[in-house]
Structure formats: C-alpha cells, structure tokens
Amino acid sequence: MEEDNTIFVALDLVNTMILPVRINKIAIGNDLIDFQQEWCISVDCLAETVANTDETILLSGRESNFSAVSFLIPIENFEGRDIETESLSLHVNLYGGSEEFEIPLYSNYTPQGIEKGVQPFSTLEEVLAAHPFLMLMGGGQLAIESGDWLVTGDLVLPDGYNLFIPAGTTLRFEKDSLFLIHGKVDIKGTEESPVLLTAENESWGGMVVLGASDVSTWQYAKVEKMAGISRSGWILTGGITFYESAVDISYSVIGNSATEDALNIIRAPFSFDYVEFLNVPSDAFDGDFTTGTASHCSFHDIEGDAFDISGTEATITKSYFVNIGDKAISAGEKSNITLEEITIRNVSIGISSKDLSTVLVNNSTIDSAKVAGLAAYIKKPQYGAAFIEATDVTILNTEILAICQTESELLLNGESIPPEDIDIDSLYKQGIFGN
C-alpha cells in the first residue's frame, strides 16, 4: 500500500500461543531484517496485544482473543528484492526462551492487496449494469432473479449490500471469475429447486465473503468447480472463503473443486447441518480461529484432511468420513473438539490431536486406518503436548490403533496408550503423517 508517497508492505499478525512472543527479524529469502516496533500501526500496539517495551511483543492468543496486530513496513527495507516471488518469514522466540523459530508468512492467509487483483468495490450502478440478473430490493438488499444465468467477469457487490439468492437459481461463472461480497449471502434453495453455483466450463475462481456483520444462511445449495484465485496481489487457495463472516449451512453440497481448501472459515462462527463435502484434491474444510458445530454431515473422496482446524472450538456429531487421503479430523494449534457418533472408514489417520489441542471422542467407529486410528503429538514445538480421550470407540481393520508421542496423552476406552519417542518431523517429511 502507499501512504504519503511512501510504499509499505502491510502485515497482520496473530499470536495463537499461550506465552508472549518476541519478533526478532523478518526474512526475505536468505536476508534478515531487524523487526522494528515503530512499524506497528494498530491501536492494540498501545493497549493489550503488544507490550509497551523496547521489543515488539505479541501477547498470547488466550489473552488477546486472537486479535490481529497490523504493521506497515517501508518497502525500502526490501530494496532490490521481489516480495511477490521470494519467501517471507518471521524469526521469533517465546518471550523468556532462547530457542528461535522461523514462521513462514503467507500472503493468502488473509486476503490482502485486493486492489491489485480485482476491483474491491463496485458502485451500485456499475454492478446492476454489468449483471442484469441483479435486482435492488431496498434496505441495503440485492437479490438475484430466479433463473439460469451466465456471470461474465467478476461479480463484486458494492460495500454495505447483502445478497439473496432464491430457489431454482443457477449461476455459471466464467473461468477465473470471482464472487466477492462484503455482506451476508443468503441462499434459500429447496429440495425440489436447489441453488447451484458452478462454472460455465471446467472451473471458476471461487467465492469470498469479507467482514459481513450478519450471518449468512445457506439452504439446499450446491457450490462446485472452484479452482482458486491467483492474480497480481491476490492469491486465494480456498474455493469458498468466509473471513470474519459467520455462516450457517444446511442441506448443501460443496466440492468437485481444484482448490487447496474447498471451504475456509477464518475468525467467524459456523454451523453445518446435513452438508456433503466431496471430491476435493486437498482439505475439505479448514477452520482457523473459529467456533462451530457440524451434524449429520458426510465427507468422502477427500485427498487431504476432511475437517482441519486450528485455534478452534468445535463439535461434530452423527457424521461420516469415507475415503480420506490424510486425516479425517485434524485438530491443531490449541483447538478443542468433541466428537459424538462419528464413523470413519478408509483413511490414513482417523483422528489427530496436536500442538496443545484436546480431542474428546465418544461412541464412534474407525475402520481401515492405514497409519493409525488415533494420533496425539507435537508438530510445532512452540505449542506443546496434545490430548485425546476416546470412550466407547471401536477401531477395526487397523494395525496400529493409536500413536502417542512423549509428553502427549492418549486414552483409548479407559486405557492409557504408552507414549513413545517419535520423530514427527521425519514422518511428515516422508508423507506418512500427511501435510
């Protein structure tokens, strides 16, 4: 971004660990740059999230409630380097500790730089002229006329408007086109007349909901053939992304996509009821710093993780996971999840808990896990040990019922699984533990 003729690199950071973190350096490629406290522009720098010391400190996620702290780094610090192509990372340590960790930065984690890749806002007149199927309903509400429509170019709704999509509507998006809205999206299909968001041909970019103040509600929707976005200043790996935008989805289907995550929800609550995720080349659902529930859902033919959460509180009940290439359920970075009446079949690892996460499993079945039915371990040393308690859990056709790394704890039907010294890094590098 540019301010007073000075160009800056914008950086939003969230600390998800228990202890405060000191940021020492930012790295671009092999070059290290001292991190400066004066780069911080967030009001939180003067309040709770960054300590008022000579060092830049992010307090724990528990105390800061995962609030982001914003930094503006003058571009001159990266002089001669291409920040769009070279890797960026932070060198940090837990405050009071000596071991330094390198944490990679991802430009696609929170959609930034949008002004370079897609028009961030359209005027009402522009969007109505470009998309004749849109109708102005009044009160900050737009609606799509029921029918089968071709969406030409990006569908970017003006700021402050919500959208209603009625039963029987089909939207066919051009290749690489994007659906972007800063308000809620209500989809009201029926069993007889569902709503379909799909590609005109083989694929389209996907859908992004940013900072909606109201909850989006989807009923009888099918969203498919997303391929993600890769443009100058905009990289988005999720087929559907809800960022700080709550959503309730029921009786819907998501999948047949080519994205890293079919559905990604970041810092917003969710609920899934009778939702089917299918045919995904990586993860089906990725939840980051969320709270939510899933009931009567099915996940099948997923090459990565089916339900992957970080920093999240969740409950899954009466759901099925079949033909999962990696983990059916993966809890990481201080997540807490409760599983009731879960069926998992043909998977690499049934349920994993890592990095200060807690998983409680009751009255569930795991059948044909190639690596292990359950696994509790540390992937990121800056977090800590994991915990699983599995009660009334049946594990069938599986050679290794449970894996528990030293320091972690795993209880299977009342019996403690002996912890072992396990080289988790090696197992990940070999692809045994997935990604």
Take residue 325 and report the two structure tokens written for it.
């290439």
Q: Is 111 among the domain residues?
A: no
> What does the buried/exposed string (b/e) look like for 253-290 if buried means 16 or more CB atoms within 10 Å of the residue's CB?
bbbbbbbbbbbbbbbbbbbbebbbbbbbebbbbbbbbb
Rounded to an integer, what distance in angstroms lies between the CA atom of residue 366 and that of residue 308?
17
Q: Is residue 435 in some structural domain?
A: no
Tokens of 403: 């894996």
DSSP 101: E
User: What is d(CA 262, CA 203) in angstroms, rounded to the nearest whole number?
Assistant: 13
Let me know if residue 112 belongs to a domain.
no
Is 235 inside a domain boundary? yes
So what's the pLDDT on residue 412? 97
Per-residue pLDDT tens over the stretch 14-53: 776 545 677 888 888 888 888 887 887 766 555 444 544 4
Q: Name which of 361, 367, 376 is nearest 398 in CA terms.
A: 367
**pLDDT mean by block of 10 residues, the chain; 435 residues:** 64 68 83 83 56 54 60 80 74 66 67 42 85 92 96 91 97 93 96 97 92 96 90 69 94 92 92 98 92 98 96 97 97 95 98 95 98 92 89 97 94 95 75 70
Report the candidate in 105, 243, 236 with the shortest Cα–Cα distance to residue 177: 236
Q: What is the pLDDT of residue 59?
A: 53
What is the predicted pLDDT for the residue at 73? 84
96 and 26 in one domain? yes
Indicate if 268 and 304 belong to the same structural domain: yes
The total of structural domains in the chain comes to: 2
Residues 91 and 126 in one domain: no
Nearest to 66 by CA among 88, 49, 85, 80: 49
Domain containing 271 — which CATH number?
2.160.20
**What's residue 102's pLDDT?**
84
Six token digits for residue 288? 């980051």
Q: Which residues have C-beta within 8 Å of that of residue 210, sequence separation ≥ 6?
A: 111, 180, 181, 182, 243, 244, 245
Write down the pLDDT at residue 234. 58
What six digits make up the tokens of 270? 């969710």
Q: Are residues 25 and 79 in the same domain?
A: yes
165 and 263 share one domain: yes
* 309 and 373 in a common domain: yes
Same structural domain for residues 76 and 173? no
At 66 the pLDDT is 56
| Together in a domain, 134 and 36 | no
- pLDDT value of residue 78: 77
Residue ending a domain, choose from 105, 135, 163: 105
- Output DSSP code: residue 50: B
Question: Which domain covers residue 60, as residue numbers?
Answer: 2-105
